[in-house]
Amino acid sequence: MPDYDTARERFSWQEARAELAGLPGGGLNIAHEAVDRHAAGPGADVVALRFLGKRGEVREITYAELKRETDRFANVLQTLGVERGERVFALSGRVPELYVAALGTLKHGSVFSPLFSAFGPEPIEQRLRLGDARVLVTTPALYRRKVAQLRERLPGLAHVLLVGEEAEIADIPGVEDFRRLMGLADDSYEIVATAAEDMALLHFTSGTTGMPKGATHVHEAVVAHRATGRIVLDLHPEDVFWCTADPGWVTGTSYGIIAPLTLGVTAVVDEAEFDADRWYGILQDQGVTVWYTAPTALRMLMRIGAEVAHEYDLSALRFIASVGEPLNPEVVVWGEEAFGMAVHDNWWQTETGGIMIANYRAMEVRPGSMGRPLPGIEAAVARRDAEGGPALRGDGGLELTESPEEPGELVLRPGWPSMFRGYLGEEERYRRCFAGGWYLTGDLVRRDAEGYFWFVGRGDDVIKAAGHLIGPFEVESTLLEHAAVAEAAVIGMPDQVAGESVKAFVALKPGHEPDEELRRELLGFARRKLGPAVAPREIEFVAGVPRNRSGKIMRRLLKARELGLPEGDVSTLEGGS
Ligand code: AMP
């Protein structure tokens, strides 16, 4: 990017679209742009993915090999009789097969939906059901612990493909061996002639109410993945890129798989979980040049001090970006001390499919700000009405803030390629995301006089813990399944490292004692069902949870009380004045 204003003026989505190869016979397919395009050219022998296994093993896959492997997987789906548009889910750690399955699914014209492997059986069941899963790729251990028990409730799940030891898989009824099927499949496949508007990806996300929402994305999204990879992450073919996000979340797919591959770079994938020495070691030994990570990880590194970073040779590193939660200004400043460069915060969400607001390399970083809108994106700040909905003008348009610094809801003008096309099976919920010609993001922000956006908070009650978006309703519903629980309300509590942590307020049914033993039992119960990423960290017993007169839990009030903040308008509180 030359400078921000010039880039904005010059940018057009049509031109970004024209940089793609397109399918030879017409049409557009993400996997063709990410894999086959390079496999057919001078980039064929470049390492596309470099996998760092938990135990130190390294596996490199070139673009040419990735083409053959993903072709094989597309053939596997064809042999299994999977139809175009049907959903192929993955529940696994960051192993090569996950990446091969993702891209092979796209080649086959079916829809890929990743699940986070730390989910417990309940979030997994919800998502497989809502997404009408036809195929699931997972491992023997995850299958036994989390999926086997759900099988009879998911009759549409026709094929479960396990990645693991042959002998172990042979002992499990009702599953197939991923590697065996791959071995039988041909390594050449003609990509299905997908159209730009064909559904490609299904990403689940959470709202305040109801169950998770399946945001659908189409092949056209690749236009934005590639453009933002270049404009925001500054990726060039010689780069070694490390996106630390798990593909179970949208960042790990859009930027952990698609964006870097479309630009022909080498993407590093680490199977292991966060560990400061390991991470610094990866940055050093892999010669990572561009690093895309998250505030929680940076805060964990900050805690152990910048000196540790100085023990490593990080001279290859030239650009750091962060996403997913608010990035404290102290972390940006610390980044300069530790790495000799600013951390570039950027903002987006599952629904936007790609980065929408960012600090760019060519622009001064304002610590604490998410940056300015992507060229091609129109962003504004809208006033909210008393109920928290968008304030509408007489002509039906949105009432936008006029003066800088006035907070309001971040809204985006629809029409960019990676925008979600719906919530699967929930037309009404999708429609409610739009008003007056704008997409409502649900986030509260302010914009300064120079057009930099600053995050203020969520406009709803969802929780962001260690970068994971958690719907309070989902957690409350699980707690209510316990025989002792009469009512449950869940909020996010500030957490120095993870941003927020999940806290539950629980009212018990008569005959149950609110003691330590029951608290521990409930914590364990929720953890088993929901998994550690989603389960509450803390449970407090209460006599009842505050509700308004229509019976809605007033989580905001609970939070205000918890944090000693003003309680705001409580006139609708049940039993209140
Ligand atoms: P998800 O859909 O899981 O990617 O979560 C998206 C939400 O994460 C956004 O709506 C924001 O609330 C939050 N978020 C993402 N990026 C940022 C950021 N840079 N600063 C503050 N919040 C962010």
Q: Is 370 in the pocket of ligand 1 (CB under 6 A)?
A: yes
Q: Does residue 308 fall inside a structural domain?
A: yes
The answer to whether 138 touches 98, Cβ cutoff 8 Å, is no
Q: Whose CA is nearest to atom 6 of ligand 1?
A: 349
Q: Does residue 3 fall inside a structural domain?
A: yes
According to DSSP, the β-strands at 266-270 and 47-52 are parallel
Q: Is 350 in the pocket of ligand 1 (CB under 6 A)?
A: yes
CATH code, 395: 2.30.38
Do 467 and 449 fall into the same domain? no
Q: Is 519 in the pocket of ligand 1 (CB under 6 A)?
A: no
Q: Is 357 in the pocket of ligand 1 (CB under 6 A)?
A: no
Q: Does residue 4 fall inside a structural domain?
A: yes
pLDDT for 577: 35
Instruction: Find the 206 Cα to ligand 1 centroid distance in Å.
Output: 12
For 268, phi then psi, to 5°, come to: -90, 135
Do 452 and 548 fall into the same domain? no
Do 226 and 274 fall into the same domain? yes
CB-neighbour burial class of residue 208 (10 A; exposed 0-12, middle 13-18, buried 19+): middle
Do 511 and 395 fall into the same domain? no
Q: Does residue 287 fall inside a structural domain?
A: yes
The answer to whether 470 touches 420, Cβ cutoff 8 Å, is no
Compute the C-alpha angle 486/491/497, nearest 5°. Answer: 140
Do 372 and 385 fall into the same domain? no
Q: Which residue is listed with tokens 């629809």?
A: 414
Instruction: Find the 39 Cα to ligand 1 centroid distance in Å.
Output: 34
Instruction: Find the 128 Cα to ligand 1 centroid distance in Å.
Output: 24
Q: Is 213 in the pocket of ligand 1 (CB under 6 A)?
A: no
CATH code, 475: 3.30.300.30
Residue 389 CA to residue 409 CA, distance in Å, equals 9
Instruction: Find the 347 Cα to ligand 1 centroid distance in Å.
Output: 6
Q: Which amino acid is at 505?
A: F
Instruction: Find the 214 Cα to ligand 1 centroid distance in Å.
Output: 17
pLDDT for 567: 79
Q: Is 349 in the pocket of ligand 1 (CB under 6 A)?
A: yes
Do 321 and 395 fall into the same domain? no
Residue 460 CA to residue 172 CA, distance in Å, equals 43
pLDDT in tens, 566-575: 877 666 677 5
Residues of the domain holding 383: 379-412+434-459
For 163, phi then psi, to 5°, come to: -100, 110
The answer to whether 402 touches 382, Cβ cutoff 8 Å, is no
Residue 412 CA to residue 434 CA, distance in Å, equals 10
Q: Does residue 210 fall inside a structural domain?
A: no
Closest Cα partner for 24 from 38, 39, 14, 37?
A: 37
Q: Does residue 263 fall inside a structural domain?
A: yes
Do 384 and 314 fall into the same domain? no
* Angle of helix 63-80 versus helix 96-108 axis, rounded to 10: 60
CB-neighbour burial class of residue 2 (10 A; exposed 0-12, middle 13-18, buried 19+): exposed
Q: Does residue 358 fall inside a structural domain?
A: yes
What distances in angstroms separate CA 126 from CA 105, 142, 206, 332, 373, one per listed residue? 21, 16, 12, 38, 34
Instruction: Find the 441 Cα to ligand 1 centroid distance in Å.
Output: 10
Q: Does residue 467 fall inside a structural domain?
A: yes
Q: Dihedral of the CA atoms 199, 202, 206, 207 (nearest 10)?
A: 10
The answer to whether 105 touches 29, Cβ cutoff 8 Å, is no
Do 361 and 399 fall into the same domain? no
Task: Report the SS3 class of residue 270.
Answer: strand
Do 349 and 404 fall into the same domain? no
> Across-strand partners of 345?
322
Do 392 and 366 fall into the same domain? no
Instruction: Find the 28 Cα to ligand 1 centroid distance in Å.
Output: 29
CATH code, 11: 3.40.50.12780
pLDDT for 139: 98
Do 230 and 373 fall into the same domain? yes
**Residue 60 gets which letter from DSSP?**
E
- End position of a domain, from candidates 421, 444, 459: 459
Q: Mark the ranges of the chain whose per-residue pLDDT is less than 50.
A: 576-577
According to DSSP, the β-strands at 290-293 and 319-322 are parallel
Q: What ligand 1 atom has the least distance to the C-alpha of 455?
A: 21
Q: Which amino acid is at 475?
A: V
- End position of a domain, from candidates 377, 400, 420: 377
Q: Is 326 in the pocket of ligand 1 (CB under 6 A)?
A: yes
Q: Which amino acid is at 444?
A: L
Q: Which amino acid is at 49?
A: L
Counting the structural domains of the chain, the total is: 3
Q: Is 295 in the pocket of ligand 1 (CB under 6 A)?
A: no
Residue 429: CB atoms within 10 A of its CB come to: 15
pLDDT for 387: 82
Residue 80 CA to residue 74 CA, distance in Å, equals 10
Q: Is 334 in the pocket of ligand 1 (CB under 6 A)?
A: no
Q: Is 250 in the pocket of ligand 1 (CB under 6 A)?
A: yes
Helices in 241-323 by DSSP H: which ranges? 250-253, 259-262, 276-285, 295-304, 306-310
> Across-strand partners of 358?
346, 372
pTM of the model: 0.94
**249 Rama sector, left if φ>0, alpha if ψ -120 to 50, beta otherwise:** beta
Residue 375 CA to residue 254 CA, distance in Å, equals 18
Residue 246 CA to residue 252 CA, distance in Å, equals 5
- End position of a domain, from candidates 362, 377, 392: 377
Residue 525: CB atoms within 10 A of its CB come to: 19
Do 504 and 545 fall into the same domain? yes
